[in-house]
Amino acid sequence: MIEIDNVSKWYGDFQVLNDCSTGVGKGEVVVVCGPSGSGKSTLIKCVNGLEPFQEGKITVDGVSVGDKSTNLPRLRSQIGMLFQNFELFPHMTALENICLAQTKVLDRSPDEAEERGMKLLERVDLVEHAHKHPAQLSGGQQQRVAIARALAMDPIAMLFDEPTSALDPEMINEVLDVMVELAHEGMTMIVVTHEMGFARKVANRVVFMDEGSIIEDADKEEFFGTPRSDRAQLFLSKILEH
């Protein structure tokens, strides 16, 4: 469903992505991990065109992202994205956040959008918080609203950019639980995360990045069993030690 072929990206002279290639099949869950600054977030932001790239090709469901003629808003509306800092819109209630793109992008009626929004809030267990603003919600609740907001667009795939990195430890699980559920339902997902427990539980494949390159791209068992590269082994030994 998502094909990333030989993608390279530079910020001025600095190369942030170096000839990255990988793919995600329908219903597959791919976890991207690696040290900070290795280009993980940049790579998934290239997938929905939030970051431009200079070389290579990315296609989502057959549509080339980098192509000038591509209708990016339309493509993006089909790909849900979650952010480290949730990025709910602060001046709108949880429900209004979920309804905005439904009405403005998908042209759903306000009633229809609201009904769908309430259903999704029920799913992430936040119905009683529908009319609260983001600042009145905890981090975990905000991220679950953000998931509901993404799901409201009926996405064909979802991108997660370190969705639990800004959360207090006790809130990480409430978000991960929703993500695990999504994975089990067959959602196509690319997840940038350091949560190796999550990777072990639901990932089909793990991609390990360092300094802009994909160093390892392996099945989960293979990756956690015997990662081939020294760099990946070192990384794993560090984050799995505790």
The smaller minimum CB distance to other proteins, of residues 136 and 237, is found at 136
Closest approach of other proteins to the CB of residue 197, in Å: 26
57 makes contact with other proteins (CB under 8 A): no
Stretch 128-167 residues interacting with other proteins (CB under 8 A): 132-136, 149-150, 153, 159
* Distance of alpha carbon 122 from alpha carbon 5, whole angstroms: 39
Q: Out of 42, 48, 143, 164, name the contact with other proteins by CB under 8 A.
A: 48
Closest CA to 129 of 113, 109, 144: 144
The token pair that represents 178 in the structure block: 């929703």
Stretch 93-112 residues interacting with other proteins (CB under 8 A): 100-101, 104-106
Q: Out of 45, 108, 116, 144, name the contact with other proteins by CB under 8 A.
A: 45
HEC per residue, 3-46: EEEEEEEEECCEEEEEEEEEEECCCCEEEEECCCCCCHHHHHHH
Q: Number of residues in contact with other proteins, rule: CB under 8 A? A: 34
The smaller minimum CB distance to other proteins, of residues 15 and 84, is found at 84
Q: At what angle do helices 94-104 and 110-123 cross, to 10 degrees?
A: 130
The smaller minimum CB distance to other proteins, of residues 7 and 137, is found at 137
Instruction: Assess contact for 227 and 208: CB atoms under 8 A.
Output: yes
The token pair that represents 4 in the structure block: 């990333």
Q: How far is CA 189 from the centre of its chain?
A: 7
The smaller minimum CB distance to other proteins, of residues 112 and 211, is found at 112
**230 beta partners:** none
Closest approach of other proteins to the CB of residue 140, in Å: 16
CB neighbour list of residue 103: distance below 8 Å, 6 or more residues apart: 109, 110, 113
Closest approach of other proteins to the CB of residue 90, in Å: 5
The smaller minimum CB distance to other proteins, of residues 79 and 209, is found at 79
Closest approach of other proteins to the CB of residue 108, in Å: 12
Amino acid at 173: N
Binding window for other proteins (CB under 8 A); candidates: 8-16, 67-75, 202-210, 234-242: 67-75
Instruction: Assess contact for 124 and 143: CB atoms under 8 A.
Output: no
Closest CA to 76 of 178, 4, 145, 159: 159
List of residues contacting other proteins (CB under 8 A):
45, 48, 50, 72-74, 76-81, 83-85, 87-91, 100-101, 104-106, 132-136, 149-150, 153, 159
